Amino acid sequence: MVRRGPLRAGEKVQLTDRKGKKITVQLMAGEETQTERGVIRHDDIIGGPEGVVVVTLTSEGSMESAAEAYRHNPRKPWKNTRKIGGWQYTVMRPRLQDFILSMPRGAQIMYPKDIAQVIEACDIRRGMRVLESGGGSGAMGLHLLDAVGEDGELTTIEMRPEFAKVCEANATVYFGERPAWWNLLVGDFDSKSHELPEHYFDRIFLDMLDPWNRLENAWRVIAPGGVITCYVTTTTQLSRVAEAMRDSGQWTEPEISETLERGWKAQGLAVRPNHEMIGHTGFLITARAMAPGVEALHKRQRATKDTYSDIDELTPEQQQARLEELELRDISDRKLRKVLKDLDTQVENISKSAEGNGNLPQ
């Protein structure tokens, strides 16, 4: 839902001061928001446009006294009006990522950088039927609802009823009403997915602890050629999902990625990366569904390359054979002779340099 025009009661606004500190509030007629720098009256914002500056008051202060202080010193009104607030905030409607980072939540939310990659990697577009497992606080769901639009359909399966309530409430606040194109199911993925029609969904997104155990049911409800993306946080989860996809033969070779985000400072000649960055948050594993009865094509393993056997679990004879295999993959005799010749020359140069340095005064 796109909001334009004057700010209305019931919608949220983001207040940002000159230091970049942000406050997100829901506008209500007759209400006030207490900040560290004074009080902001909602009635002073409701009915006005975005992009204006509001000035804080104290509980005893008045809008007239704050306005007078602002006219007296418009560049730094707080200098003469500390006792009545006088701190400035820019008023804007929040972006979706601003809304998500400030919304009430119970479960940990996905970062915007990961959400953006899911929308791109999973190729989620308007009009699609999307299945989401793990609603959490609704961060991913809001983006999915926005991406598929009213022409599409989002089905979310959330195991915990309390998280489902949080997810539903956040979506209602963001869109101004509960999205009619959203089907929220409460329960475990296996039982709820069995109630869904076969090969119905265009896209599936799994955000759970063990997505490798859900792949069979996911394949049953996804259309051939559909895209699945799994979000996990550890390398052990990553490995199990990828191997389960390969072993099933129902999914194409998984594509694996993670995104690191680093902000920059650009102020005059001070142009440098910020000291803090958003590093690892999670891995994305993306694959496509094969048609029923068709085995997926995967890259063949080299006969001399074993990446699955643990060396500590092998017998001494098997370990020796493994070492011999590694030797087979070593450099060629010709290259080895070249390397040794190069190193012999470097060693001789050290000796010559040492002899020459011996003639130099210490």
Give the tens place of pLDDT for each residue, 59-81.
554 445 555 555 655 665 555 44
Question: From 3.10.330.20, 3.50.50.60, 3.20.20.210, 1.20.1260.10, which CATH number describes the 11-94 domain?
Answer: 3.10.330.20
Ranges in the chain annotated CATH 3.10.330.20: 11-94
Which of 137-146, 171-180, 300-309 has the lowest average pLDDT? 300-309
**Which residue has better confidence, 33 or 358?**
33
3 state SS of 23 = strand
Distance CA 132, CA 229 (A): 10
Q: What average pLDDT does range 52-61 have in this prediction? A: 79
Written as one string, the DSSP assignment of 239-268 is: HHHHHHHHHHSSBPPPEEE---EEEEEEET
Binding site annotation covers 207? yes
- Specify the DSSP class assigned to residue 196: S
pLDDT of residue 304: 53
CATH 3.40.50.150 is the classification of domain 98-265+277-289: yes
H helical segments located in the chain: 63-72, 96-102, 112-121, 139-148, 161-175, 189-193, 215-221, 235-248, 316-328, 333-358
2 has a pLDDT exceeding 80: no
pLDDT of residue 1: 65
Nearest to 160 by CA among 130, 143, 185, 194: 185
pLDDT of residue 4: 87
Nearest to 223 by CA among 132, 307, 288, 295: 288
Helix (H) or strand (E) holding 54: strand 52-55
Displacement of CA 336 from its chain's centroid (Å) = 47
Binding site annotation covers 247? no
pLDDT of residue 320: 80
361 has a pLDDT exceeding 60: no
Ranges in the chain annotated CATH 3.40.50.150: 98-265+277-289
SS3 for 288-356, per residue? EECCCCCCCCCCCCCCCCCCCCCHHHCCHHHHHHHHHHHHHCCCCHHHHHHHHHHHHHHHHHHHHHHHH
Has this prediction a pTM greater than 0.75? no
Q: What average pLDDT does range 153-159 have in this prediction? A: 97
pLDDT of residue 97: 87
57 has a pLDDT exceeding 80: yes
Distances (CA, A) of 2 to 15, 43, 96, 205, 312: 19, 22, 11, 25, 60
Q: What average pLDDT does range 234-254 have in this prediction? A: 97
174-178 contacts at long range (C-beta below 8 A, 24 or more positions apart): 174/96, 174/99, 174/103, 174/142, 175/1, 175/145, 176/1, 176/10, 176/11
CB–CB of 122/40 below 8 Å? Answer: no
Q: What average pLDDT does range 345-349 have in this prediction? A: 90
Question: Over pLDDT 70: what percentage of the chain?
Answer: 86
**Both ends of the chain: CA-CA distance in Å?**
81
3 state SS of 18 = coil
